[in-house]
Structures are given as structure tokens and as C-alpha cells.
Structure 1
Amino acid sequence: MDMNGGRKRNMKGHVVVISYPATGHTNPMLQFSKNLASRGVIVTFVNFNLNHRKVIQARESLQRLKLDIRFECIPDGLPEDDSTLDSNINPAVFKHMQDNMDGSGLERLIHRLHASGDTPPVCCIIYNSFLPWVRDVANKLNIPQALFWTQSAAVFSIYQHFQNGEGLDCGRMPQNVIIPGLPELKLTDLPSAFMETSGSINYYLGQLEVVKDASWVIANTVYELEPETINSLRSTSLPFLPIGPSIPTSFLQDQNAEDTQVGANPWKAADCMGWLNKKPPLSVVYISFGSILVISDEQIQELAVGIQQSGQNFLWVIRAPPGHDHIAEVLPAGFMEETKERGLVVDWCAQLEVLSHPSVGVFMSHCGWNSTLDALSLGVPMLTLGVWTDQPTNSKFVTDVWKTGLRMRRRDDGIVGRDETERCIRMAMESEEGKQLRNNGLKWRELLKSSASEGGSSHSNLNAFAQEIISKAK
């Protein structure tokens, strides 16, 4: 059945956006939806029972912006009374979303939207690769589809390069890898699945099967960050469209001061601004490892001692790991008391507001792609601790390509020790090399702001995509 056939309405274009229910996927896709709606496209943002309550928090900020974004929820088949499932990438949730979802809820929703007469027919379904079954719905209903890629172009290129290696044996991978459009990579620079023996890499490579049916690959990256990689991808006729950084536009442009937050926060953010206001410029080490990564008790303790030894002010976002009720149970004895004059430990914060504060001098990060883009967008150098999925690749680019960070060295047991932690903090905050990293970061900040401004690469790509969607509604 052709959902675009039948009644033609001279109305705005209408897209359905559906994201895997994890913060790192939902937030950039929700911000993209805001950017698209600001260009005259109606957006129906689809959630699951699992994350609907969190995502609709964004309505408050959307009301101020007066954007036409509607929220819908489809059943996910997960037990509603099981609070342990209410997390980001819980293995049980991940497997369920991959293997047990059949798309019937999404199909019924689109039929209902089409029959209601409240909106024009859906012109495009936009989804990310963690929900491969959405492709089947789009194909069945004959609706154009777009893949939203939430990682870097480099990671996409790496997966695509190895995609034809069905049954890839990671144990036989070369130590150095040459891929068109990328610098020479060591095996340890590739996404972590290439280092695993579980065979999970073949799943990640299989994700890209959906690309062959996609009219666009919309990527949360910036052309100026990865020009060689993006040019190489486009040389294969891949419709790769960089539209990033997908963050609230008040941090990139002056003309929209109301767009200050995405709104779909996994936890309540602590108010850190009063504390930061009391600290001198460039004097604070901001430390956060995102919404997913869980680090060991030993690693937390080593980091804490190194942070304390450095003598620097710090804002540390960290939650108690499994098996503990409070982070104080894991931190070294006396740490909280001895650092109370120069340190603040919180469960969660508004990261963009923190990174844009003049007191912040460096960002110690897991180097997830969203955090990496946040730091680049605001010109803050990084200390990278990447270990999982795309984080090692992002670390490689931050340190060796964009030259805005230091990669923290691990011991043979995989732990970043206290002395290495202290060394990296002092280097970033006190040395000439740290000043150069900061200067490089400021250059990238200006380039990313330019890309998001009128006439910039990402701004133009968003305009072109919106116009193509609107043209399909006429």
C-alpha cells in the first residue's frame, strides 16, 4: 500500500522520527526534529513505553519555541512494572528491541495518522540503525526512509569497510588498518567490538544492511570535521548528509536564545552554576563518563586519588555503580571531606551549560560521540578515557586528528592509574601543550558554529533536506 497515494494535501511535509530509547540516541534525534520543525516540517516523534515519560519532558521547551512536534507512544512489549529495564542500553532491552519488535505498533500508528486528517501523509520515516525493523515498515507502506547515524562518519566508514567480511574473525585482524578517507588506524583505534571474541562485530556490521533502502543517511557530524571521510563515502553514491552538531542552537547561534535544552534528561540535573561562578576562569576539571558507561570500583578510586593529587578544582558527575547505594561508598576514605573546598560531586548535570562556563578548563570524558561534539562545539579540550563501542575511534580523532585532547594511558590491567590521571590533568591545565590544545579547541568551536549558521554546511544540508520533504507533500 502506498501511504503517499490517494488524498493529496497542499500542506507542510510530515515526517515520523523514531529513536532507540537511550539518551545518547534520543537527544540528538530530538534536537534534529526541532531543527527540522523550525524549517516548516511537521514532526511526529515516536517513543516507546520505556522512555515516553522522559521524552515528553521536552514539551516544555518546545512550547516556548512554538514548533509543530507531536509525541506518540507505541507499545514495546516490555514489563511496565520492571524498573530495572528503565535504563539506557540494558542488554535485555537491546536484545528485545532487536529481535522481538515486529513493527506492527509503528504501522498501526502511521495508518492512524494518515486516517485522522490532522496531518498530511507521512513523507519519510527517520530512524537509527538500532531499530532495523523500521525498514520493513517503511518498505511495506512505500514511504521513503532515512537512517539517522548517531556516531561519527569515521565509525560509519569503518563498519562499511568491513561490512562485506561476513563472519569476520576479529582474532585475525591486522594490527594496522588502511581505510579510504581515514588516517591509518591501529586495531586499538577501531570500535571495541573488533577486539571482542563474542562475534558481536558481525551484528554491528549487519546494522548497515538498512542503508541500501535509505534515501538519505542523516549524520550527526560536521563536514569540516571529517571532510576526507565524508567525501570518500559520497564517492560511492551514498547519500551521506552531515547535519551536526545536533545540540540546542543557543550554544551555536545567537539568533535563537530560547533553544537552550533538549529536555529529555535521564536524571534530574544538579544546579552547578553557583559553584562554578565562584571559580576562576579555566580552573575547573569537568569529569563525566556519560549516561551509560559503568567503570569499576578500582578505576573510580584511582581516578579519585589522581584528581586529588592534581590539586585542581573539579566538578565530577558520577553515580554509584551497581551494588552501591551512594558514590561515597566507593570513593577513597576522606576524599569528599578533603576536597570539599575545590571539588563538587553530583549525579548529573546540564553538560552544555557546564562546558560553556568560563571556569571550565578541560573535560575528562569517556569520549562518546555526543560528549565529543559537545566539547568541540564549545572549544573545551579533552582527556579521553574511551573503552567501549565508538569511544576508542573518537579518542583517536580527538588526540591525533583534531589535536584537542590527550589520551589517558592505561596500565596492563586496563586501569588508568592515579599518577597518569594526575599527569594528564596537570598537563592540560598547567602546561604549554595544554594551552595549544585549548587554542585548537577554540578554532574547532568557530568552525562548528559557522557550519550551523546561515550559509554553513550543516545549516544548508538541513535546509535542503527540509525542502525535499516539503516538496513531497505537494
Structure 2
Amino acid sequence: MASMVKAEAISSSSSPATTRSSRRRRVLMFPLPFQGHITPMLQLAGVLHAHGGLDVTVFHAPVNAPDPSRHPAAYRFVAVGDGNEFAAEAAALIPTGSYGDFPAALMALDALLRVPFEDALRRALAAEEDEDVAACLVVDSNFRGVQAVGERLGVPTLSLRTGGACCLAAYLAFPELCAKGILPPDQLQLDMPLTELPPLRLRDMVLSTTSSHATMATCLERILDSSRCSSGVILNTFNDLENSDLEKIATDLNVPVYAIGPLHKISIGLESSLLTQDRNCLEWLDKQETESVLYVSFGSLASMDREELLEIAWGLVDSQMSFLWVIRPNLAHGSQRVHLPDGFEEAIRGRGMVISWAPQQDVLSHRAVGGFWTHNGWNSTLESICDGVPMICRPHFADQMINTRYVQEVWKIGFELEGKLERETIERAVRRLMCKEEGKEMRRRAKALKNQARISVEKEGSSKTAIDMLI
């Protein structure tokens, strides 16, 4: 594969054993302050620490900060920005639902954190002792300004993409689609297939309905600059899942590409959830039949109208299937508490459970779970694939439409639930996945991908090899 060839060319001149000196090596990291970005960054930290002997310094924003007590003593955590006023300014930039202007928020966060990060990085570099040297800075690819600070201070940088290779390949094609006049889209052509990006349609490239085209284009340009200006791009995926897109990325970016996922199957035991997990659901799952439960969760950011929540509730009831449904406090627009309809609790007694947040990896790997209704964020999509669980897909924004399209058209391990959410449609979709022969075929294909993911992280597997090269 092209990306592996590039990595080998760099690593062949010196093995990890010959490049290490008597001094300790430390990797610096800066995640974007969203759950879906913090989790893979800290998983990567676990991999580099456990497999490479690297100590870790995690710079973090003053909002959605990770809990140091959950991580090894070799980790240092450094808050970027001082004072309650700065923390409030950062918190005000974090969108709270699907209708936020995420591209604008990402760029504003990057701009806000740049100056205080330079101060924090200078202090960290000045405090280095002979046995503790910064090897590199790993930045979330949305932090192009933060990355430039590291470059200016002489620290080599690596760019972490927290989405799939399919997403980055689509982002790489964005400028060409704009130059051809395909983007911004004509609303009458949203179902037009993109010959440059099969199996995507034009609608799958509408990554935000709340951002202007100019804002979206600038945000993606900065993401691509982060990749091209780095010493390498790290992706939480594996070759057998996205080989063609990985090859395309390596060729287009002309930097080493390290496909080292699935990180959650390598970096075991590190807890990075920003919300309190209800582990009682695992005891409930223990009492259910094998592959009988539909797990329903829309991630940490996606939100919906109260009417949609009510339709989901009655659709799940009418399906007659067992389910575990995550309803976090701000899932409904404009409300911190969701009120389920009268009669719902009685209707699901014995076959349904509602919780505020789940230990998702444990849930998806549980023998009782036979399907996942998801928003298709990349972490959720990859976790579902790696545990052989087929999906009902309901994307909201960003890369979720791209991921959904691959789930349905490329890997064929799920399908999109399109259109208005109505209880009759929901009932049919649930039964299609959980009971029909079509759903059983999706489950068989998902289990085949699960096996490929397992092989990738074993000795001499593609991801294990890429990790060794990266270290």
C-alpha cells in the first residue's frame, strides 16, 4: 500500500531501538475538546505509552477537560488558558446540538487557544530535563493554528484524523468539486451521484446546513493544510476496511499515512468519557437473549426535536423488539430533560431500558446486542464494525453522511433511515435489521469485518506494523 511504503522509507534508516537514546522520550498531544475527538487522542496516547514506552503530555482546553486520575502517572495534563473568564469564552464556542455552526466553532476555538498554547508549550519545552525530551506534537487536524505554533517552536508535528479515511478522501476532493461548480449544491441535484467519489451523492457532501459555503470551504482547507504540513497523518482505521481510500490519501497528501486502528481494541482500559456511564445496563443485558437487543444511541452532540423523540419511543414499542436506548439530558432541542410519553414505561417493561449514557464499547461487545441505531459518528461506526454489529443509520452532520453511505453501499452492514421519523417507518426499520433475512446477512458481513479488524492489530497485522513504524 502506498502509505505503508512511505512509512517504511522513513523508518528503514533507523529502527526504534537504534534511535532511542538514554533520554526519556515524551509525546505532546492536543485534542479538540469534543468527546468524539478526546477519546481517540487519549486512546492513541495509551498506544504510544504502552507500545513505545513514551511518556505523554496532554494539553487541553479549559472546557471538556479530561480527568487526569483516570490515566497513568506518566501522563501530564496541562490546561491551556487561565482564569474563569477564558474558560467561559471557550465554553461559549462549543455547540450544544445538531444545529450549531460547527465549522465556525472549530476555527474560533483554534484561534482562541493559539496564543495561550504557545505560552504553555514554551513553558513545557523550557522545563524539559535531559532525560525527558519532546519527540513530537500530535494535534487534532482541526487545530491548524495550534499546529503552526509547534512548527514555529521547532517541534515536529503529526496530524490525528479522528474520522475515517473515506471522510478525508472526500475532503480532499472538495476543492475540485467547487472548481467544477458542483459545490455549493443546487438543491434540485442533491441525489446526483459523484463520479469522483463513489458511492457518495452530492447530498453527502453537505457537511453542515448551518454554515455558509465559504466557512465550510475554509474549515476544510485548514484540515487539509494540517495533514500536508505534518510529518505524518494518523488515522483510526485499518487497511482491510479502507484500503483504496488510504492509498488515495497517501498519494494526494505525499506524507506518511499511519492506519493504526481500531484504537479502542488496542488501548484497553483507559476511560475518557465526559459523561457518567450507567453500567447497570450491562447487568440488564446479561439477562437478554443473544443478539436480541437493539442498542440506540445518537452520540454526544447530535440532537433532535421532541416530536422525533416521541416517534422513536412509540416506534420502538411497536417493533416488539428488546432495546437499550441512550437519552442524554440535552438530546432534545432546547431542553435539558426529556419527558417520555405516558404509558411508555409500562409498554416496555421487561424488554426495554432507557439510560442517560452508556459504556458503549462494553455494550456493543455484549453477546445480547444484535443491532445498533446510530448517528454514525466515526467512533461509533468503527466500534460497531469491530464488534460485528449491523447498523440502522441516522446521520446528522459533518462526516456522518459519508460514513452512513459506506456502511450501506460499500460494507453493506446497515442501511440509512431516511426521511421524516415516523413510528411506522421506525417499526419496519427495526424489524428489518433485527428479524429479516436481510438483517441477518448484514450481521454476517459485519462479523467478517470484525475478524479482519482483530487480525489487523495482532502481531504482523497491518495496524500493528503501522504502530511500530509510527513509534
Asked whether the two chains share a fold, i.e. TM above 0.5, the reply is yes
Q: 1:57 to 1:423 in 2, by over 3 A?
A: farther
Deviation at 1:194, TM superposition (A): 8.0
Q: Establish whether residue 326 from structure 1 lines up as the match of residue 337 from structure 2.
A: yes
Cα distance in 1, alignment partners of residues 428 and 39 from structure 2: 34
Q: Establish whether residue 460 from structure 1 lines up as the match of residue 465 from structure 2.
A: yes
Deviation at 1:463, TM superposition (A): 0.8
Aligned residue among 235, 246, 265 for 2:263: 246
**Contact 1:450–1:456 at 8 Å: present in 2 too?**
yes
Q: 1:189 to 1:127 in 2, by over 3 A?
A: same
Could you say what secondary structure the match of 2:27 adopts?
A: strand
TM-score by length of 1: 0.85
Cα distance in 1, alignment partners of residues 429 and 454 from structure 2: 28
- The aligned residue for residue 195 of structure 2 is 178
Deviation at 1:77, TM superposition (A): 6.7
Deviation at 1:15, TM superposition (A): 1.4
Aligned residue among 279, 290, 309 for 1:300: 309
Aligned residue among 308, 312, 326 for 2:321: 312
**Contact 2:28–2:137 at 8 Å: present in 1 too?**
yes
Cα distance in 1, alignment partners of residues 60 and 401 from structure 2: 30
**Contact 1:284–1:359 at 8 Å: present in 2 too?**
yes
Aligned residue among 208, 216, 235 for 1:201: 216
Q: Which runs of 5+ in 2 are unaligned?
A: 1-19
- The aligned residue for residue 159 of structure 2 is 147
Deviation sequence 1:14-40 (CA, Å, 0-9, x none): 210111111100010100110011122
- The aligned residue for residue 427 of structure 2 is 422
Cα distance in 1, alignment partners of residues 93 and 423 from structure 2: 30
Deviation at 1:213, TM superposition (A): 1.6
Cα distance in 2, alignment partners of residues 126 and 103 from structure 1: 18
- Pairs within 5 Å for 1:264-283: 264-271=272-279, 272-283=281-292
Cα distance in 1, alignment partners of residues 289 and 430 from structure 2: 17
Cα distance in 2, alignment partners of residues 18 and 196 from structure 1: 25
Structure (1 or 2) with the greater helix fraction = 2
Q: 1:81 to 1:128 in 2, by over 3 A?
A: closer
Could you say what secondary structure the match of 1:281 adopts?
A: coil
1:85 is aligned with what amino acid? A
- The aligned residue for residue 241 of structure 2 is 225
**Contact 2:390–2:442 at 8 Å: present in 1 too?**
yes
**Contact 1:355–1:378 at 8 Å: present in 2 too?**
yes
Q: Establish whether residue 350 from structure 1 lines up as the match of residue 359 from structure 2.
A: yes
Cα distance in 1, alignment partners of residues 433 and 424 from structure 2: 14
Q: Establish whether residue 444 from structure 1 lines up as the match of residue 459 from structure 2.
A: no
**Contact 2:23–2:132 at 8 Å: present in 1 too?**
yes
Cα distance in 2, alignment partners of residues 157 and 127 from structure 1: 19
- Pairs within 5 Å for 1:53-452: 54-59=66-71, 62=72, 68-75=74-81, 79=85, 82=88, 85=91, 89-90=95-96, 94=106, 96-117=108-129, 119-163=131-175, 169-172=183-186, 175-179=192-196, 182-193=197-208, 197=212, 199-207=214-222, 208-236=224-252, 237-249=254-266, 259-260=268-269, 262-271=270-279, 272-320=281-329, 321-327=332-338, 329=339, 331-410=340-419, 415-452=420-457
Could you say what secondary structure the match of 2:302 adopts?
A: coil
Number of residue pairs matched?
435
1:219 is aligned with what amino acid? L
Cα distance in 1, alignment partners of residues 90 and 148 from structure 2: 30
**Contact 1:88–1:292 at 8 Å: present in 2 too?**
no
Q: 1:164 to 1:135 in 2, by over 3 A?
A: farther
Q: Which runs of 5+ in 1 are unaligned?
A: 1-7, 251-258, 467-474
Deviation at 1:86, TM superposition (A): 8.3
TM-score by length of 2: 0.85
Cα distance in 2, alignment partners of residues 108 and 277 from structure 1: 47
Q: 1:105 to 1:82 in 2, by over 3 A?
A: closer
